[in-house]
Amino acid sequence: MSQYRTFTAQDAVAYAQQFGGLEDPSSLVEAQEVGDGNLNLVFKIFDRAGVSRIVVKQALPYVRCVGESWPLTLDRARLEAQTLVEHYQHSPQHTVKIHHFDPELAVMVMEDLSSHKIWRGELINNVYYPQAARQLGEYLAHTLFHTSDFYLHPHAKKAQVAQFINPEMCEITEDLFFNDPYQIHERNNYPTALENDVAALRNDHQLKIAVASLKHRFFSQAEALLHGDIHSGSIFVADGSLKAIDAEFGYFGPIGFDVGTAIGNLLLNFCGLPGHLGIRDAAAGREQRLIDIQQLWSTFAERFQALATEKSRDAALCVPGYASEFLKKVWHDAIGFCGTELIRRSVGLSHVADIDTIRDDEMRHECLRHAITLGRALIVIADRIDSLDELVARVRQYS
């Protein structure tokens, strides 16, 4: 049995040579640590010509930005690998390929995506990928439908729910999304200039009731195998291609959580664009984000509906019209979860570069206030937003 140790660059090269699946493993000679997240080490493995060929990722036993005082389960590496393997079965064109994983070392070897770029950075730089929103909708529809009760036999579904129980990583989500921003907590991270705005969240009883309802849904609705953290920093894009990575938060939960997280990150970019671009370019970029959101949801809903019509196996769930009713629920859930993503990324521990890299303090603070205000509104009125047009109108109203 393997015994856990933190990898060095040399360890990563040796591991890639052994498990990378290359015809000439000895061609792999160098590793570069490229991880910029809080939970993992990520090494790109290069050949003699300096070409990156393989990626080795290892889970750390603690949150990197906090240190050993916040320990983490290493089992999340198994859960991440198995989530990505499962998602790859249903959406291979939009999921990173896992070549090998070792649960003892909490390490996996995966497809190199050096030909792609992280979508968040491209959105910030106003680089447009016209296929990306639709492809993300396709990924969500295929992965969430094929791991849901519509498709899986009840016995298989229950077995998978047990396989993907992820209590420690779910607890992080539960705290960061639904607890910390609405109370005084040492993990919260926001400028002092926003103290009044954040205090208003803590004192907003209507908001906290709505957040409690969303948290209860996150607790109790095991609808499909979620990615669990499908933000624009967990997505690679290239011309004609989109790939999801980083699924260590994978577990069975409400379908609207993944959809809402994806929409929320497009709205975070919407909020931050005035801090990065001139007035005209920011306005055009914002309009494009609204179009992206419409394309994402429309693609997801249409593809999920088509899959339900073609492939649903449960007699009751096959009843004509039920899938449409179910998608209405997913839509309302997604709007609420979208709002919690906006607030937790503005007030809580983990922010996004879309806003955090704005150089002008006053502009950055204004963009944060925008995200908080919009997030609060979407959470409270989620059940009253019945269409894409209404969502767009609400976003414009709070802009």
379 and 214 Cβ atoms separated by less than 8 Å: yes
Residue among 18, 10, 63 at smallest CA distance from 39:
63
**248 annotated as ligand-binding:** yes
d(CA 373, CA 176): 18
Residue among 350, 348, 143 at smallest CA distance from 253:
143
**196 annotated as ligand-binding:** no
Q: Which contacts (CB < 8 Å, 24+ apart) does range 67-72 have?
A: 72/39, 72/168, 72/169
d(CA 293, CA 88): 24
Q: Which residue has the tokens 């990563």?
A: 12
Residue among 68, 81, 253 at smallest CA distance from 174:
253
**246 annotated as ligand-binding:** yes
**344 annotated as ligand-binding:** yes
First-residue to last-residue Cα distance in the chain: 56
**179, two tokens:** 């607890």
**168 annotated as ligand-binding:** no
**53, two tokens:** 């060929």
**112 annotated as ligand-binding:** yes
**59 annotated as ligand-binding:** no
**97 annotated as ligand-binding:** no
Binding-site residue set for ATP: 40, 57, 111-113, 246-248
Binding-site residue set: 40, 57, 111-113, 229, 246-248, 344
Binding-site residue set for substrate: 229, 344
